[in-house]
Amino acid sequence: MADFDVIVVGSGMSGGWVAKELCERGFKVAVIERGRQITPEKDYTDMVDPWDTPNLDRTSDEDKAKHPIQHTVYAFNQNTKQYWVDDNKHPYEVADGTSYGWLRGYQTGGRSIMWGRQSYRMSEIDFEANKKDGHGVDWPVRYKDIEPWYDKVEYFAGISGSEEGLDILPDGVFQPPHELTCAELEFKARVEAKFPGRKVIPGRVANLTKPTPEQIALGRGQCQARDLCYRGCSFGAYFNSNVATLPAAKRTGNLTMITDTAVLKVDHDMETGRATGVQTINVNTKEKKTITARVVFLNASTIATTMILLNSAHEGAPNGLANSSGQLGKNLMDHVAGAGAAATMPGFEDKYHYGKRPNGFYIPRFRNHTEESTDSVRGYGYQGRIYRETWQSNVGQSGIGEDYKDANRKPGPWSVGIVAFCEILPDERNTVTLHPTKKDEWGMPIPVINQKHRENEVALMKHATRDTKAMLEAAGMIVHYTDNPDDITAENMSAPGRGIHEMGTARMGRDPKTSVLNQWNQSWDVENLFITDGSFMTSGGCQNPSITYMAFSARAADYAAKLMESGKL
């Protein structure tokens, strides 16, 4: 008899959802997390005062030595560095001539603690794109298949946003939006007047603005507009596994959390064709153990899930488990960020923003939708905010006495921050493989990552850079700096991985010869093996993908539950 009904590898954005859904259906579920147990009331740092923050919150030389890759991420500081891995203990290599920033957090909740919380549905246009333009393989689902699952996860997670009626960005189940600032409203009016096919809307973000009774019962409260989310929120106001899905799973009595435990491989019975469990190692004691289950869900994050399956190769699956198609580890995607600018908006000197809203505006994709191009396919969306600068804008300025003090009491101008997120096309040349000889301290072969930006990504970023400048100028901004589109190359764009949206290496499809998973996130080769982290993505759209991972996770868990309830698994 198996130890558990279901093993879920990983406790982050998608793994938490699988655990919640299956525990609530009455199954005994083990969630295996390679990192430590996080207790929000003890481990979150959102109540630490600025004067108690070490090193004035600046990154030290010691931090840079311990976290040479992780410290470059926007959410790394003295109050969050404990959530990011020690790069020296978790090595990887990149192929010659490439670079990759693998940004990771190993603890219960994974990166759902540090995510940016932007939550945008993929549209029918996104699900049809591969088939229409010939890149990648056709998605085995369409928007109507996923729409009810988007509804379900948005209601539980709590997404604030506005209904806009856009085909490129479907509306969802929203709590009231974080309102745009006065400067953003002016920006919206001017941009939409100049470019009728473009819309400026409030960001859709997983911060509670009007908690439901269920959310309150889980101990979650309303967003306090402090913009300290990356530290973890003691109010439970933003969605992450530690305050939402895992507590919901735990209250059923069916959840077993196994922390500080890495999964090395999935065990597979060649006679039955099924997975029987996983081989694990305690990351502290190095003790090895096999844990068995009727069904296995891999939610370790894209690269880690791919590593586990490649390391699970055996005589009957010499190229990795669930890899009869040869597609495992191929088509690595992300989003590439760029097209930023520095600008200020004149006027509104008699106004100031209220609080520190953890959100901003969003400009949905218009490129190759309402505005065509001849040198590219797909598109990009923009995220940004226009806030009034504080006294900190005078830090480093010379001065003394009364005049200097008065200058520091006055807020600065309205300043814009904006960035475009461009879609990266599925491409079999972008891969994750295992190093033939090098292993980490737990005996796992380290990954070799090979991903480059290619012609379409460069063309999109050039367009996005021109569009940034055009919109700022149309809004009457004083533009201090924009990138020069003529200088953009594949090599000087933001490196792959920096979007922190890695996906695609075990894609869904309609044909087992060209894909790893079927329409239910179920392995074609191993019927009791499911993957619902970013690995399954067949294309990436330009939207932040987490809400899509959640929807597919809930849907796949429901499907697996029905198979178990019927006795088929």
pLDDT at 59: 94
Is 400 inside any structural domain? yes
Residue pair 38/109 in contact by the 8 Å Cβ criterion: yes
Phi-psi category of residue 521: left, alpha or beta, with phi > 0 → left and psi -120 to 50 → alpha = left
pLDDT at 394: 67
Alpha carbons 172 and 149: distance in angstroms, whole number: 11
pLDDT at 393: 66
Is 415 inside any structural domain? yes
| DSSP bridge partners of 277 | 267, 292
Q: Which residues of the chain have pLDDT under 70?
A: 391-396
Structural tokens at position 132: 């229409």
Tell the residue number behind the tokens 């990552």, with chain if given: 449
Alpha carbons 258 and 88: distance in angstroms, whole number: 24
Give 199's contacts (C-beta < 8 A, 6+ positions apart): 164, 166, 192, 363, 364, 366
Residue 70, phi then psi, degrees to nearest 5 = -65, -35
Q: What DSSP character marks residue 558?
A: H
Is 339 inside any structural domain? yes
Closest CA to 242 of 84, 37, 47, 46: 37
pLDDT at 56: 85
Q: Which amino acid is at 254?
A: N
Give 420's contacts (C-beta < 8 A, 6+ positions apart): 337, 338, 339, 340, 380, 381, 382, 461, 464, 465, 467, 468
Q: Give Cα 541 distance to the centre of its chain.
A: 13
- Alpha helices (H) along 326-418: 401-409
Closest CA to 329 of 405, 427, 416, 246: 427
Closest CA to 529 of 138, 265, 283: 265
Alpha carbons 273 and 338: distance in angstroms, whole number: 46
Alpha carbons 420 and 285: distance in angstroms, whole number: 44
What's the structural domain count of the chain? 1
Is 353 inside any structural domain? yes
Alpha carbons 313 and 526: distance in angstroms, whole number: 13
Cα angle value 99/102/108 (rounded, 5°): 180
pLDDT at 407: 75
Give 469's contacts (C-beta < 8 A, 6+ positions apart): 341, 479, 482
Is 76 inside any structural domain? no
User: Which contacts (CB < 8 Å, 24+ apart) does range 472-477 have?
Assistant: 472/341, 472/343, 472/416, 472/418, 474/190, 474/191, 474/193, 474/194, 474/195, 475/186, 475/187, 475/190, 475/191, 475/345, 476/190, 476/345, 476/346, 477/187, 477/343, 477/344, 477/345, 477/416
Alpha carbons 295 and 274: distance in angstroms, whole number: 9
Alpha carbons 229 and 237: distance in angstroms, whole number: 9
Is 98 inside any structural domain? no
Residue pair 245/226 in contact by the 8 Å Cβ criterion: no
Alpha carbons 67 and 81: distance in angstroms, whole number: 9
Segment holding 338, helix H or strand E:
strand 335-338
pLDDT at 554: 98
pLDDT at 389: 87
Alpha carbons 203 and 471: distance in angstroms, whole number: 18
Three-class SS of 5-37: EEEEECCCHHHHHHHHHHHHCCCCEEEECCCEC
pLDDT at 377: 98
Is 392 inside any structural domain? yes
Closest CA to 287 of 254, 258, 248: 258
Q: Which amino acid is at 13?
A: M
Q: Give Cα 264 distance to the centre of its chain.
A: 24
Q: What DSSP character marks residue 319?
A: T
Which residues span the domain enclosing 412? 164-203+335-423+452-495
Q: Which amino acid is at 167?
A: D
Concatenating the DSSP letter of every residue in 206-229 gives SB-SS--HHHHHTT-----S---G
Q: Is 157 helix (H, G, I), strand (E, B) or coil?
A: helix
Three-class SS of 440-489: CCCCCEEEEEECCCCHHHHHHHHHHHHHHHHHHHHCCCEEEEECCHHHCC
Cα angle value 492/333/131 (rounded, 5°): 120
Give 227's contacts (C-beta < 8 A, 6+ positions apart): 356, 357, 358
pLDDT at 373: 96
Q: The pTM is what?
A: 0.97
pLDDT at 408: 78
Phi-psi category of residue 274: left, alpha or beta, with phi > 0 → left and psi -120 to 50 → alpha = beta
Q: What DSSP character marks residue 75?
A: T
Is 100 inside any structural domain? no
* Nearest-10 Cα torsion for 120, 122, 125, 130: 130
pLDDT at 340: 85
- Alpha helices (H) along 48-181: 61-66, 124-133, 143-157
Segment holding 297, helix H or strand E:
strand 288-298
